[in-house]
Structure 1
Amino acid sequence: MSIPSRLLRTLIAAVAFTPAFVAAPPAAHAAGGSYFAGAYVSIYGSRDYHGYVPSTYRAGTPMPLLIALHGCTENDVGFDLLSGWSAEAERRGFIVVFPDQNNLVNPAGCWNWTLPTNLHRGWGEPAIIAGITNRMKSTYSVDPRRVYVTGVSAGGVMANIMAVTYPDLYASAAILAGCEYECDILQLRTPEQAGLDALAEMGSRARPVPVVIWQGTADVVVPPSTAYRIAGQWTTVGHVDSVADTVEYAQAPGGRTYRHLTYRTTSGQPLVEQYMIDGAGHAYPGGCSCSLYGDPAGPDATGISWDFFLAHPKP
């Protein structure tokens, strides 16, 4: 995206009557939905963010919270436009926050999932993203059982990392064109090994985090087989079969066909859902045509992911 991140974030902040340079957003009021913007600073660095509070918000009444992570060459504002998450938040009643990668630490705007320090709880970017999440929980009335994380591309990799490193914070995750834990680009290790490493990282907090996975079959950036590796990671964590229990074929209205795979627990509950979109490239399914990364012909990843989140609160 060629959108000037700081300029657009300032405009969003002006709409919300919140300066972009403040450390934390003010409490939202019920008079109407509003944007906010701020910056989070810790010993691991600083990150800007913006978010949206819907008009249905009432202080004292817990509301779901979503953390949404952009991909490379994007920013927080661009991902909001691409995904439509703020509009979805207004329609369906939840708070959404978009952390923004600092271009000083990654000129391409990628989350630094390749760095070993960013694979562990309490370190690096996971600590920063968790810090932003906890700030939202302390600023707004948030339902602690309905805090979710999503991301696309590098943000999808980081969303998976967040689900592994903070399974006590995030109820479930949506991963779009992402990668398994400790992403093995050459695919020399098995998905089961990624699952075992995830379990080791989770430690006493270990639990099978429900995830929904999105992947285009014509993606030349992320091999489509990676989606199966993410599924294999989480089925290993959940001690269930890595072969999908059901495979359904469907088509987005007037758009692409896709396969919907479901992996279930031993009690029959969906744990992992996977969408393989025929002919789709490295793009956001159902994303806005206003973005180079949008694929309007794909199924509505935003709406379907939120349906998945609602069905999977934290136990």
Structure 2
Amino acid sequence: MRRRARKTAWSPGFQHSLVALTRLATGSGARLLATRLQPATARRTAPGGAGAWMPGVVMGAAGTRRYRLYRPPGVGAGERLPLLVMLHGCGQNADSFATSTGMNRVALRERFLVLYPEQDRRANGQGCWNWFDTGTGRALGEAALILQAIDQVCLLHPVDPTRVAVAGLSAGASMAALLVTRHPARFRAVAMHSGVPPGTAHSTLSALRAMQGQRQTSPLAATPATMQAHWPPLLVIHGAADTVVSPRNGLAAVQAWAGAAGARAGPPRTVQRGRRHPMSVVDFLARGSTVATLVVVDRLAHAWSGGAAGQPFGDGHGPDASRMVWAFAARQFRQQAART
């Protein structure tokens, strides 16, 4: 059954800008990229559980984007909680990504807020963030909208703006990394799950080659001094059996972070929790601090590790990526607090 299109109250000029974005996103290159990804259609079903699931919207030069915010129950007066920004992959929306990752359950237990910005299908018919389209500026426009959503949530809700982290899956992972390269001082940690690092593509066609691991990643515009002072550490999680986004991209991402910081790789270690897929973990260290961590999960394809098995892009047999992402971010929050 087709859903009825929702009427909007935007001005004609604003509607015209959205139509223009749609036309840019539906050319031959975008269709080719969509064929490669073949995402499932996300269902609009709110995740269950305790706490508030609140809608929001931001508007800017790149159009409008909706978001959902999860807020755990019992937030006291004057209390300020950390914020984790979660960017979904192609074929997903805020509801399905929250359900697939189970991040709200982690937030309920650990007491933090979760922001789920949502791509507009008029900007990309497959629901992908346009992380690759730096040539036209669309990628940076969407990054600006996400940052605007973060600012809005920090203003309207009990968020500690000094404890903000961002994570994403696939196209969302690539957008998360791009956002951090533009505003590194705004985040304390960044996590990429099955994504392509920034500086690897600039168009839809170059994105296809990048996803296949056939393009070089440009060095980050940072020095060891600026990395140490302003850039957040990076966690990369990638499936060894991923045929949609080559695992070579995960290695390229941590090497870009490590190269800019002058970090060296530590010894790899194998970790397995119960009967879940084993994973290889490598830390990249500079001056005794972790700059980047690479986690390669054995037998994991293009899916959120430990995600809901009944959801698109979720693999319940993998180690729990949501717990790993939060543990990584929480560690950076604690270390930052110890330094101030």
Provide TM-score, normalisation by structure 2.
0.78
Tell me, which stretches of 5 or more residues in structure 2 are unaligned? 1-39, 202-209
Counterpart of 2:42 in structure 1: which amino acid?
I
> Deviation at 1:163?
1.3
Residue pair 2:268, 2:281 contacting (<8 A) in 1 also: yes
1:230/1:281 Cα in 2 relative to 1: closer, same or farther (>3 Å)?
Answer: same
Residue pair 1:179, 1:226 contacting (<8 A) in 2 also: yes
Identity of aligned residues (%): 27
> Deviation at 1:43?
2.2
Structure 2 match to 1:238:
261
> Deviation at 1:273?
1.1
Equivalent of 1:226, from 249, 252, 257?
249
Counterpart of 2:237 in structure 1: which amino acid?
W
Q: C-alpha distance in 1, partners of 2:71/2:96?
A: 18
SS of equivalent residue, structure 1 residue 194? coil
Which structure is higher in helix share? 2
Q: C-alpha distance in 1, partners of 2:285/2:262?
A: 10
> Deviation at 1:118?
4.5
Residue pair 1:175, 1:214 contacting (<8 A) in 2 also: yes
Q: C-alpha distance in 1, partners of 2:143/2:227?
A: 18
Tell me, which stretches of 5 or more residues in structure 1 are unaligned? 17-31
> Deviation at 1:206?
7.1
Structure 1 match to 2:103:
85
SS of equivalent residue, structure 1 residue 168? helix
Structure 2 match to 1:167:
184
Counterpart of 1:194 in structure 2: which amino acid?
P
Please list the CA deviations of residues 134-153 of structure 1 after superposition, one character each: whole Å capped at 9, or x if unmatched. Answer: 11110122222210100000
Asked if residue 272 in structure 1 is aligned to residue 292 in structure 2, the reply is yes
> Deviation at 1:204?
11
Residue pair 2:213, 2:245 contacting (<8 A) in 1 also: no
Q: C-alpha distance in 2, partners of 1:253/1:296?
A: 13
Residue pair 1:180, 1:229 contacting (<8 A) in 2 also: yes
Residue pair 1:284, 1:293 contacting (<8 A) in 2 also: yes
Structure 2 match to 1:67:
85
Q: C-alpha distance in 1, partners of 2:173/2:184?
A: 16
1:239/1:190 Cα in 2 relative to 1: closer, same or farther (>3 Å)?
Answer: farther
* Residues 29-40 of structure 1: pairs in structure 2 closer than 5 A: 33-40=51-58
Q: C-alpha distance in 1, partners of 2:213/2:41?
A: 32
> Deviation at 1:41?
1.2
Q: C-alpha distance in 2, partners of 1:205/1:257?
A: 31
Structure 2 match to 1:309:
329
> Deviation at 1:294?
0.9
Please list the CA deviations of residues 61-118 of structure 1 after superposition, one character each: whole Å capped at 9, or x if unmatched. Answer: 1110011000001111110001011111111100001111000010000000121114
